[in-house]
Structure 1
Amino acid sequence: MKNLLKIAVGILALLFLLALSPFATIPAGHRGVLTTFGKPSDEVYSEGIHWVWPIAQKMHKVSVAIQKGEGDGDAASKDLQTVHTKIAINYHVRPDAVVSVYRDLGNEPGERIIIPSVQEAVKAVTARFTAEELISRRSQVRDEIILALKERMARHGLVVDEFSIVNFNFSKTFNEAIEAKTTADQLKMKAERDLQRIEVEAKQKIARARAEAEALSLQRQQVTPELLRLRETENQAKAIDKWDGRLPTTVGGVVPFINVNK
C-alpha cells in the first residue's frame, strides 16, 4: 500500500513538473535569452530544445531573421523646401547581440531604435541637398542615409540589410514649379531641334543650288565655237543618213522649185 502511494506521489510530481513546462523551444530564425527570476543571463541560446527550471527561469525568444519596416516623415531640404519622405528598410538583429537587444531595447528594436534612427538620418541627409538635388541625386542621398543608419544601428547590435527611398513628395507649390520648369525645358529642346532641322534644310538647299549653278557654269564653259560647228556637222550627217534621195518640189508653198523630173 505504501509503495503504491509513493508511486502515485511520484507520478503526480512528474505531471506537476510537466505542467510547469520545464522545457523551452527556440524556433528557427530566433535566439533565446534565459532569465532567472527576471535577470537575463549572458549566454545566447541557439535553436532547439533547452531545459529551464520551472517558476524560477523563463526563456525569451529574440528574432534574428530579416524584418521589414516602413515609415515616413517630414524634413526640410537645403533650400528650405518641405520634403515628405517615405522609406522601406530591411534589418536583422545580430545573433551575438540578442542579450543586449532584449535587455537594453526590451526586445523591441523597431520601436526603440529603427524608427527614430531612420527619422534622424533622413532629416540630417535631406538638409544637405536642395529639393531638385534630392530628385536628381537620389542614389547618392540613399547611400548617405544608409551610412548614417549603419553607424547608429551597429551600436545596438542591429544590421541594415536593405534600404530604399519609396518616394519624395514636396509641397504643391514646388511640384507646380517643377512641372512648369519641365514643360519649359521640353519646349526649349523642341525649339532647338526645330532650329537645327531648319538650318540643316537650308544648308541642303544652298548645297543643291550651288551644285546646280556650278553644273550650269561648267556647261557654259564647255560650249565653244568648235563644239557648235561639230554639233552642226553631226546634225547634217544625221539628216543625210535619213534622206531618201528625193528633192522636195516646193518649200513653204510660195516659191516653187524647178521640177527636176521634167
Structure 2
Amino acid sequence: MNNRLIGKLVIVVAAIGALMLFSPFAIVPAGHRGVLTTFGKPSENVYGEGIHFRWPLAQKMNLVGVAIEKGEGEGDAASKDLQTVKTKVVINYHVRPDAVVAVFRDLGNQPGERIIVPAVHEAVKAVTARYTAEELISKRAVVRDDIVNALRERMARHGLVIDEFSIVSFNFSKTFDEAIEAKTTAEQLKMKAERDLQRIEVEAQQKIARAKAEAESLSLQRQQVTPELLRLRETENQAKAIEKWDGHLPTTMTGGAVPFINVGGGGK
C-alpha cells in the first residue's frame, strides 16, 4: 500500500512538472513586464500584465519588475575642507516599462546592484567634495538636488527613473561636532550680549527722556513764576491769616520779647 501511494505521488508530481514545462501559456503579474526569450535570445517586444502564449520548451517568459523599488546605503566621502563625512541616503526608483528589454539584456535584470549602488556612491562623493562641512548642513536641500541631477542622467541611459531621493543623515568626526557645538554656543552668547546691550541702550534712552521731560517741566514752572504772581500769592496768604485771626493781640512775643503793657486799666 505504501509503495502504491508513493508511486501515485510521483506520478502526480511528474504530471504537474510536465504541465508547467510544456504549458503553452505564461503569466505576467502586476508590477512587472515580460521579456520572451526563444532558446535564450530575448525578443524586442515588451509583454504587459496578463496571460501570453509561448512555445513550450523553446520559449520562456522572463519577468522584469517595473514597480517602485527602494534602495538605501551609506558611505564615506570627503568635504571641500577635507572633513570626513559619512552620508546615509535612501532612493526610490523604477524601471521604465519601455526599457525592460535593455535592463534584462544589458543589466542581467539587476539594475540595483549594477547601476544604482555604484552611481549613488559616485554622485554622493562628487557632490560632497564641492561643499564645506558646514555648507553640507546649511545647504542640505541644494546638496540633495545636486546629487539627484548627477544621478538622473546616468540612470536615464539605462532606462531607470528616480522617484525620490533623500539624505537621511550627515555624520562627521567627533572633533568637528565639538567645534560646531562650540561655535553655536559662542554665537548664542554673542546674540545674548547684543540683546542685553540693546536693552541697556533702551533703558538709558528712557532715563534721558524722563530727565529731559522733568527738566522741561521745571523750566516751564520757573518761567510761569512772575513778580506779579508772587505778590498775588503773598496777598492771598495775608488774607487767609486775617480770616483765621480771632481779634486778640498776642500778649507775648516769641524770642524773649517784652510783654505788651496793658493800657486799658488805671495803672500806677
The TM-score normalised by the length of structure 1 is 0.86
Q: Name 2:104's counterpart in structure 1.
A: 102
Map 1:143-222 to 2 at 5 A.
143-222=145-224
Task: Tell whether the 8 Å contact from 1:62 to 1:102 is kept in structure 2 after alignment.
Answer: yes
Task: Tell whether the 8 Å contact from 1:249 to 1:256 is kept in structure 2 after alignment.
Answer: no
In the alignment, structure 1 segments of 5+ residues that lack a partner are 1-13
- Aligned partner letter, 1:161: D
Of 39, 50, 62 in structure 2, the residue corresponding to residue 37 of structure 1 is: 39
Of 65, 70, 74 in structure 2, the residue corresponding to residue 72 of structure 1 is: 74
Shift of 1:17: 6.4
Q: Name 1:81's counterpart in structure 2.
A: 83
- Greater strand share, structure number: 1
In structure 2, the CA distance between the partners of 1:33 and 1:19, relative to structure 1 (3 Å rule), is closer
2:120 is aligned with 1:118: yes
State the distance in 2 between where 1:248 and 1:182 align. Answer: 88
Of 48, 53, 56 in structure 1, the residue corresponding to residue 55 of structure 2 is: 53
Shift of 1:42: 0.4
Task: Tell whether the 8 Å contact from 1:33 to 1:44 is kept in structure 2 after alignment.
Answer: yes
Q: Name 2:19's counterpart in structure 1.
A: 18
In structure 2, the CA distance between the partners of 1:248 and 1:35, relative to structure 1 (3 Å rule), is farther
SS in 1 for 2:171: strand
State the distance in 2 between where 1:183 and 1:67 align. Answer: 43
In structure 2, the CA distance between the partners of 1:63 and 1:227, relative to structure 1 (3 Å rule), is same
Q: Name 1:229's counterpart in structure 2.
A: 231
In structure 2, the CA distance between the partners of 1:156 and 1:257, relative to structure 1 (3 Å rule), is farther
State the distance in 2 between where 1:204 and 1:76 align. Answer: 54
SS in 2 for 1:25: strand
Of 27, 30, 48 in structure 2, the residue corresponding to residue 28 of structure 1 is: 30
State the distance in 2 between where 1:257 and 1:32 align. Answer: 145
2:250 is aligned with 1:247: no
Q: Name 1:131's counterpart in structure 2.
A: 133
Identity across matched positions, percent: 76
1:74-126 Cα offsets, whole Å, 9 max, x none, are 00111111111001111110000000001111111111110100000001111
1:148-185 Cα offsets, whole Å, 9 max, x none, are 00011000000011111111111111111111111111
In structure 2, the CA distance between the partners of 1:239 and 1:253, relative to structure 1 (3 Å rule), is closer
In structure 2, the CA distance between the partners of 1:259 and 1:160, relative to structure 1 (3 Å rule), is farther
Shift of 1:232: 2.5
SS in 1 for 2:44: strand
Task: Give the RMSD, CA atoms, in angstroms.
Answer: 2.2
SS in 2 for 1:45: coil
State the distance in 2 between where 1:25 and 1:67 align. Answer: 21
Q: Name 2:4's counterpart in structure 1.
A: none
State the distance in 2 between where 1:74 and 1:216 align. Answer: 76
State the distance in 2 between where 1:39 and 1:178 align. Answer: 59
Of 141, 144, 162 in structure 1, the residue corresponding to residue 143 of structure 2 is: 141
Number of matched residues? 245
State the distance in 1 between where 2:16 and 2:135 align. Answer: 69
Shift of 1:252: 6.2
In the alignment, structure 2 segments of 5+ residues that lack a partner are 1-14
Shift of 1:246: 4.0
